[in-house]
Amino acid sequence: MTETKMRVLVTGGGGFIGSHLARFLYLQGNYVRAVDIKFDDYIQEKYCAEKLQLDLRPWENCLTATKDVDKVYNLAANMRGIGFITTQGAEVMHDNVLINAQMRALSAPQGVRGRNADITLARNVLGWEPEVSLEKALAKTYRWIAEQCATDKSSALQ
């Protein structure tokens, strides 16, 4: 058991990594809320304090999911298998950028103390630093999505 008990949100908590992470945190004595658009039952026994079935693309659902939590582990991702992600790039990027950006934005206003990406260990041990700033990376990603949407639209018209 850890000394400090936290209220933790695991998004994608019905998926493979999310459910196993939720169980790990729950067994440490934390209050764990698992949120997912669907629950795949990877784990049969009780592995969290609370399960919420929510689509995290709408902003309001992200507000509900993050209410009163101290920390967010964001594992929600539109994946649906290799066939889907290799042919539906724009939809995959759209959903995942949206969910990631909203979860990131909600880290501060609702008092979340942690975020899903803590690079402290990589920085301290490996001397690792991101090569691209968050702002530049988001702008580049946004341009890429816009190009993909335009390509998808024009090929649908042909």
- Binders of ligand NAD among residues 5 to 64 (CB under 6 A) are 12, 14-18, 36-38, 40, 55-57
> In whole angstroms, what is the distance from residue 10 CA to residue 32 CA?
7
> In whole angstroms, what is the distance from residue 70 CA to residue 140 CA?
31
> In whole angstroms, what is the distance from residue 94 CA to residue 88 CA?
10
Q: Position of tokens 């803590």? A: 118
Q: How many amino acids of this chain bind ligand NAD (CB under 6 A)?
A: 19
- Smallest separation (angstroms) from ligand NAD to the CB of 3: 28
**Does 94 interact with ligand NAD (rule: CB under 6 A)?**
no
**Does 79 interact with ligand NAD (rule: CB under 6 A)?**
yes
**Does 77 interact with ligand NAD (rule: CB under 6 A)?**
yes
Question: What amino acid is encoded at 29 in this protein?
Answer: G
- Smallest separation (angstroms) from ligand NAD to the CB of 89: 14
Tokens of 87: 């042919």
Q: Which residue is nearest to ligand NAD (CB)?
A: 15
> In whole angstroms, what is the distance from residue 14 CA to residue 27 CA?
17
Q: Which residues bind ligand NAD (CB under 6 A)?
A: 12, 14-18, 36-38, 40, 55-57, 75-79, 95
